[in-house]
């Protein structure tokens, strides 16, 4: 556990002492700020049955910027250390592979949360500035925050895994992007492949991040996605640990 916190600190330091975190933060705030103001503008001119939060997270524009985030924040985790050779120093120190994986993973999760905070800041700010108390209900606010955290945990686990597979950061980034997008589109598959109401439709909607987002940003906390994302993340992290230990045995 001690090693975990030392490693976590080191990872966080390398995120926030390099321009990476700040460039991403600027980009993400700009994208979503622009999207936010457009939406507010649109909702002023037309009646919407949905809340501001629902509309923002329902927008394709949001998801686009969102998915570019993951390759960028995870690609260097292990790939860089493999390239530099520092993995050798790391794993010949008295640390467990699991501690290294978890430290890198949670450092990235913290970075992710920091990147998302401004978006939720917009909503908080909106009520203050406009004085319209009931632009959305707290359930929508906290629900969407929770599901975004869960989807993030899962996607960062994909990125962590991809970064451990290769020593090339670009390849790690591409695997992550493809993985993240594939999962996302899996959620749309039922619209094309199956007839509504069939067993396939209901099965496929279980995987749909957008469906999860809809439920949660309506303020409904469904436990199924929570279990789904947490267990998949744990599985991917376990794979990551084994991939890293596999170097020992590789013939």
Partner 1 sequence: MIHVSDLTKRYAGRTAVDAISFDVGRGEIVGFLGPNGAGKSTTLRILTCFLSATEGSATVAGFDIFKKSIEVRRRVGYMPENVPLYTDMRVSEYLRFRAQIKGLGWRESRRAVDEAMDICALSEVQRKLIGTLSKGYRQRVGLADALVNKPDLLILDEPTNGLDPNQIRQVRDLIRQLGERHTILISTHILHEVEMTCGRVIIIDRGVIKASDTPQNLVRRLRAAGTVNLEVQGEPDAVLAELEKLPGITSATHHDTRQGWAAIEIRTDANIDVREEIFELAVKKQWHLRELSRRQASLEDAFVDLTNRAAAPPSES
Residues of this chain that bind partner 1 (CB under 8 A): 2-3, 6-7, 10, 14, 17-18, 84-86, 88-89, 91-96, 247-251
The residue among 241, 231, 53, 245 whose CA lies nearest residue 143 is 53
User: Angle at the Cα of 170 (from 33 to 11), degrees rounded to 5?
Assistant: 70
Nearer to partner 1, 192 or 249 (CB): 249
Query: Which C-beta is closer to partner 1: that of 79 or that of 116?
Result: 79
By beta-carbon proximity to partner 1, the closer residue of 103 and 236 is 103
Please report how close the Cβ of residue 247 comes to partner 1 at its closest, in angstroms: 7
Closest to partner 1 by CB, 3 vs 31, is 3
CB of 28 to partner 1, least distance (A): 23
We find the least distance from the C-beta atom of residue 18 to partner 1, in angstroms, to be 7
In the bound state with partner 1, the residue whose beta carbon lies nearer, of 79 and 204, is 79
Contacts of 192 (CB under 8 A, 6+ apart): none
Minimum distance of partner 1 from residue 241's CB (angstroms): 15
128 or 250: CB nearest partner 1: 250
CA distance 173 to 125: 34
* Residue 94 Cβ vs partner 1, minimum distance, rounded to whole Å: 4
Cβ 82 to partner 1 shortest distance, Å? 10
Closer by beta carbon to partner 1, 86 or else 191:
86
Residue 234 CB, nearest approach to partner 1 (Å):
23
Asked if residue 4 lies in contact with residue 93, where contact means CB atoms within 8 angstroms, the answer is: no
Report which of 116, 117, 115, 137 is spatially closest to residue 127, judged by C-alpha positions.
137
């Amino acid at each position: 556990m001690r090693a975990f916190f030392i490693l976590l600190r080191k990872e966080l330091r390398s995120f926030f002492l390099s321009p990476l975190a700040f460039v991403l933060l600027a980009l993400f705030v700009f994208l979503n700020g622009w999207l936010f103001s457009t939406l507010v503008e649109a909702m002023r001119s037309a009646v919407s049955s949905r809340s501001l939060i629902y509309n923002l997270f329902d927008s394709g524009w949001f998801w686009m910027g969102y998915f570019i985030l993951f390759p960028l924040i995870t690609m260097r985790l292990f790939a860089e250390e493999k390239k530099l050779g520092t993995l050798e120093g790391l794993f010949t120190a008295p640390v467990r592979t699991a501690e290294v994986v978890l430290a890198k993973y949670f450092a990235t999760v913290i970075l992710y949360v920091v990147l998302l905070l401004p978006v939720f800041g917009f909503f908080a700010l909106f009520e203050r500035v406009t004085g319209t108390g009931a632009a959305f209900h707290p359930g929508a606010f906290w629900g969407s925050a929770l599901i975004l955290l869960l989807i993030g945990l899962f996607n960062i686990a994909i990125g962590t895994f991809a970064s451990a597979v290769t020593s090339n950061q670009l390849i790690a980034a591409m695997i992550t992007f493809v993985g993240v997008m594939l999962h996302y589109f899996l959620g749309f598959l039922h619209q094309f492949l199956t007839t509504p109401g069939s067993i396939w439709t209901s099965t496929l909607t279980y995987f749909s991040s957008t469906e999860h987002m809809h439920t949660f940003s309506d303020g409904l906390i469904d436990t199924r996605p929570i279990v789904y994302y947490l267990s998949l993340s744990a599985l991917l992290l376990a794979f990551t640990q084994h991939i890293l230990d596999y170097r020992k045995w590789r013939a």
